[in-house]
Homo-oligomer: A and B are copies of this chain.
Amino acid sequence: MTLDDAALKNFGFIERPTKNMINIDPLQTGGILTEDARRALVEWGDGYSICDNCGGVLDLIKKPPVQEFVHEALPEFLGVDQARITHGARESKFAVMHAIAQEGDTVILDGLAHYSSVVAAQRARLEIRKVPHSEHPDYYIDPEGYGTAIEETISETGKAPALALLTYPDGNYGNLADAKKIASVCHEYDVPLLLNCAYSVGRMPVDAKELGVDFIAGSGHKSMASCGPIGVLGVNDDNGDYSDIIFRKSPTNKNKEIELLGCTARSATLMTMIASFPEVVKRTRNWDNEVADARWFSEKLEALGLIQLGQKPHNHDLMFFEAPNLYEISTRVKKGRYFLYKELKSRNIHGIKAGLTKFFKLSTFQVGRENLSYIVDSFDEIIKKYE
């Protein structure tokens, strides 16, 4: 590519095609900005804006109130001793793995773990052992499976795993495993537990101390109404001096935390998280209503012949459906497996991956009953249209 005027015309400002659509994409429902965050984005958009009055440590900046947010509000919100901002849930997970494990150590992952947990472990050069889950239709993780996985690791390698991880909820079925029980099983073997809360922190109440977990990874762009990439990392020191290890300082640059490379969110992303925070805190207190919406929606789709997999009644807005009727339609219509995507798109609904009909996930988070009704009616119409 020669960077002449013609080539450069492909870049510049580009419109977002899904703007103003009803959004049920699980990746996106919890990351939609609040009005305050949208204003913050414009106000703080310039590179390094947040560093106007930095004394050398990003999370100690007083104006804007980064220090208060990171060192007071976030620990309270997550129920941890120490919190930091990262670039996302995966970066939080990698930071923990890289800091507390040694190359070649084992990490235990739930069988439903997100690929980013796997890749974080691979980047940290760790061995992965998975706790199995039950199969279709429940996808249940038995807490005792952690004990078995830990014992197998010890007997095969002679060394306890450096860390265990639970995806809470998992990113496919939206299942919330028994984190408290799993933490206590892991702690019997002195193995710390990291909770991957990409889909929970910012949507529902999560408290590390209450659950007894040692680390929490959260995702700002996924669940905290923030412009990304941004995440949070919480460390609970009840079972070890973990924050000393993870946030250790450079021997040469004494105020820089090595594992965070000195600083992380060096622009507007953190200002959007701070801007949305009051609403985010409040929405977690409204979680019961969100769960009620999810259950209502699940019942309505089941009445149309779809089957919701995973926990039932469901406890989270992220849901996975099996749709034999939609799949059957896809085998005989002209647009094939893209028919559902196109039908939904023509009804201004975004979020089910193009090409999927038999199995797909969606999220009802903050979509609201009115839009959810409209989506149910749309599914009904689409099914009837092709009957």
Contact = CB atoms under 8 A, between A and B. Distances in A.
Question: How many copies of the polypeptide does the oligomer hold?
Answer: 2
A11 B120 contact: no
Interface in A59-115: 63-65, 68-69, 72-73, 76-77, 87-88, 90-91, 94, 98, 103, 115
Contacts of A115: 250, 253, 256, 262
Nearest to A202: B47
A73 B221 contact: no
A126 to B, nearest CB: 12
Interface stretch (A32-40, A153-161, A182-190): A32-40
A225 B77 contact: no
Contacts of A219: 47
Given A27-B51, A222-B48, A354-B53, A275 B13 contact: yes
Interface stretch (A16-24, A289-297, A373-381): A16-24
Interface in A263-285: 264-269, 271-272, 274-275, 277-278, 281-282
A228 interface: yes
A2 interface: yes
A169 interface: no
B267 A90 contact: no
A323 B227 CA distance: 41
B12 A275 contact: yes
A45 interface: yes
A93 to B, nearest CB: 9
Contact of A14 (B41, B42, B116, B275): B275
Interface string A229-265: 1000000000000000000001111001011011011
A19 B32 contact: no
Contacts of A88: 266
Contacts of A266: 88, 221, 228-229
A16 B52 contact: yes
Identify the 7 closest CB pairs spanning chains A and B, nearest first.
A31-B47, A47-B221, A228-B267, A8-B278, A1-B72, A13-B36, A11-B277
24 contacts: A1-B73, A2-B76, A11-B69, A12-B278, A14-B40, A14-B64, A14-B271, A16-B49, A28-B46, A28-B51, A31-B267, A37-B45, A41-B227, A45-B272, A46-B227, A47-B221, A48-B228, A53-B354, A87-B229, A88-B266, A90-B261, A115-B262, A122-B250, A122-B252
